[in-house]
């Protein structure tokens, strides 16, 4: 089974720690990087006094400023929730299966997906067929892909999980399909089913490779004669209850050791920074915010599914850019320029496990 963290991509804010406050050094470093400079430029105050910011530069700055201001965090609450969804085989061939899962109302509103597990029942291979197999053809590769049907009718697939199974084995096999459900969520179409394409392939390629992989079949019914064995999708979610952030901090209550994770105002005074003189024209300062407080930890009995994760921490989960108007010198004359520094203003604080990865975005 492919590890969960191999199919997720990291997204890290340029902060010193998960909930650490933005520092002067980080602002300066980001500005130098955006302008492709190695050091702070030397600008004369006399040149700045003569310089006039053109209307189109100011309009560009205002447009970026408006775009960077999003909605405030509303806070979250968490408690563990489990649901199981029965699927059906839409298409079943010798070595390819198309699974359909109706997802409407399966993921509760205001919930956070933690893990999705696909269960498939591998049918036993007849003993007569097993006797003809060589020891080198004892395994087959099972691959799970998410099938995305676009609005124009075209299809695309994304690799979700892949693992080797024994041809001599039978019983339930599990695959991590968290990324597939995450992709489905990004479509924002609750009535559209989740489509998973399962294929069974040879372990070794080439003209002399065995065709024993065709003996691996997944059942739609007949579990030891006691009932159906249709594919199952197991969903583990966190609904917004006791284990999340509360949104913005209460300005009238001081932050204490037991304060629940929240977003606190923090003003950055650019005018008070020596290096910004005659260089940063706008803004004179900005509200950066920071994430403070602690997160309640779930019971240890609920952590066994994710052994690679550390304790839950209060982190900056969303951030917006900071537009600036800076002065630059070209040909002996100073002129103004708009630059945008990414991830400068914390937009949302959340509780997340230490080491948790953020799912990659769905490509168009």
Which DSSP string do the residues of 184-240 spell out, in sequence order? HHHHT-TTSPEEEEEEEEESS-STT---GGGG--B-SS-STTSS----EEEEEEEES
Tokens coding 135: 């020891």
Q: Return the pLDDT at 92.
A: 45
For residue 295, how many other CB atoms are within 10 A of its CB?
22
Q: Return the pLDDT at 86.
A: 54
User: What are the domain boundaries of the chain?
Assistant: 18-76+243-353, 79-239
Per-residue pLDDT of the chain (364 residues; tens, 9 = 90+): 333 333 332 233 334 445 567 888 999 999 999 999 888 887 777 767 777 788 888 888 888 888 876 533 333 333 344 445 555 545 444 578 888 999 888 888 777 787 899 999 888 887 766 666 665 567 888 999 999 988 888 888 899 999 898 888 888 999 999 999 999 988 888 888 999 999 888 776 655 456 677 788 887 655 444 555 788 899 887 766 677 788 899 888 888 888 889 999 999 999 889 888 888 888 998 988 999 998 888 776 554 455 567 788 898 888 899 999 988 877 777 788 899 999 899 998 988 877 766 667 777 6
Q: Return the pLDDT at 80.
A: 40
**What is the C-alpha separation between 6 and 362, in angstroms, rounded?**
16
**What is the C-alpha separation between 59 and 302, in angstroms, rounded?**
52
**What is the C-alpha separation between 336 and 282, in angstroms, rounded?**
10
Q: Quote the pTM value.
A: 0.61
Q: Return the pLDDT at 206.
A: 52
Three-state secondary-structure class, residue 311: coil
Contact indicator for 285, 269 with CB cutoff of 8 Å: yes
18-76+243-353 belongs to which CATH class? Answer: mainly beta
**What is the C-alpha separation between 347 and 131, in angstroms, rounded?**
63
Q: Return the pLDDT at 134.
A: 60
Q: Return the pLDDT at 304.
A: 43
- Whether domain 79-239 has CATH 2.60.120.260: the reply is no
Tokens coding 266: 């923090």
């Amino acid at each position: 089974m492919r590890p969960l963290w191999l199919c997720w991509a990291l997204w890290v804010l340029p902060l010193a720690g998960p909930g650490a406050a933005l520092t002067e050094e980080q602002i300066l470093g980001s500005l130098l990087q955006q302008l492709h400079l190695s050091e702070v430029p030397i600008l004369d105050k006399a040149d700045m006094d003569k310089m006039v910011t053109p209307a189109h530069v100011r309009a560009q700055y205002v447009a970026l400023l408006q775009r960077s201001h999003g909605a405030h965090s509303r806070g979250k609450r968490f408690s563990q929730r489990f649901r199981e969804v029965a699927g059906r085989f839409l298409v079943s061939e010798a070595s390819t299966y198309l699974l359909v899962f109706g997802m409407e109302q399966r993921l509760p509103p205001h919930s956070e997906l933690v893990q999705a597990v696909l269960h498939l029942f591998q049918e036993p291979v007849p003993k007569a067929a097993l006797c003809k197999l060589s020891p080198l053809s004892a395994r087959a590769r099972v691959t799970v892909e998410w099938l995305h049907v676009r609005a124009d009718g075209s299809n695309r697939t994304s690799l979700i999980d892949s693992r080797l199974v024994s041809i001599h084995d039978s019983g339930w096999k599990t695959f991590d399909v968290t990324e597939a459900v995450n992709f489905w969520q990004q479509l924002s179409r609750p009535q559209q089913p989740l489509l998973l394409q399962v294929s069974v392939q040879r372990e070794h390629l080439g003209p002399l490779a065995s065709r024993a992989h065709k003996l691996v079949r997944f059942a739609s019914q007949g579990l030891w004669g006691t009932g159906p064995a249709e594919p199952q999708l197991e969903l583990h979610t966190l609904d917004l209850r006791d284990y999340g952030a509360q949104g913005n901090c209460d300005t009238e209550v001081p932050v204490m050791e037991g304060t629940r994770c929240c977003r606190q105002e923090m003003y950055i005074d650019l005018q008070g920074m020596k290096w910004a003189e005659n260089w940063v024209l706008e803004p004179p300062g900005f509200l950066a915010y920071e994430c403070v407080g602690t997160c309640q930890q779930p019971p240890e009995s609920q952590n066994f599914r994710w052994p690679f994760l550390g304790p839950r921490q209060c982190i900056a989960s969303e951030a917006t850019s900071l537009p600036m108007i800076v002065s630059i010198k070209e040909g002996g004359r100073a002129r103004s320029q708009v630059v945008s520094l990414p991830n400068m203003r914390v937009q949302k604080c959340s509780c997340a496990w230490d080491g948790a990865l953020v799912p990659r975005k769905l490509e168009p």
